[in-house]
């Protein structure tokens, strides 16, 4: 697959909104963040529709990467479902989605000195 998906944490709605607004200034970005009020497959798939300025990606493949993650990472999904149920009501569960090649370049740049 050309896209990746991973759940990365929780944050307040306001913090997520502000960060998302900054990130969306770059239409050619290699990643996007999804926020959901519930840690569920449906919640994250629905959150794809909330990306205001979508990059030019194959969004069917992006959704496929979300489904694939859900099917292959039951332990991570359960961890976040268990931890997010105790989160405050003004919080979102956040995931990162994007192009695999962009993630690879981002990691490689961490080691450029």
Task: Write out the E strands in 17-90.
Answer: 31-36
Tell me the whole-structure pTM to 2 decimals: 0.83
Q: What's the pLDDT tens digit per position in 61-102?
A: 999 999 999 999 999 999 999 988 766 678 999 999 988 776
Nearest to 2 by CA among 31, 26, 25: 31
Q: What's the pLDDT tens digit per position in 33-72?
A: 999 999 999 999 999 998 877 888 899 999 999 999 999 9
Distance CA 13, CA 3 (A): 25
Which structure tokens are listed for 79? 């961890």
Domain ranges of the chain: 3-110
């Amino acid at each position: 697959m050309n896209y990746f998906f991973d759940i990365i944490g929780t944050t307040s709605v306001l913090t997520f909104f502000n960060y998302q607004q900054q990130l969306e200034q770059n239409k050619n970005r290699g990643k996007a963040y999804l926020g959901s009020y519930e840690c569920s497959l449906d919640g994250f798939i629905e959150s794809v529709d909330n990306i205001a300025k979508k990059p030019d990606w194959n969004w069917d493949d992006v959704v496929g990467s979300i489904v694939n993650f859900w099917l292959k990472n039951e332990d991570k999904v359960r961890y976040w479902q268990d931890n997010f149920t105790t989160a405050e009501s003004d919080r979102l569960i956040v995931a990162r989605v994007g192009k695999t090649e962009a993630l690879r370049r981002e990691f490689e740049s961490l080691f450029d000195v």
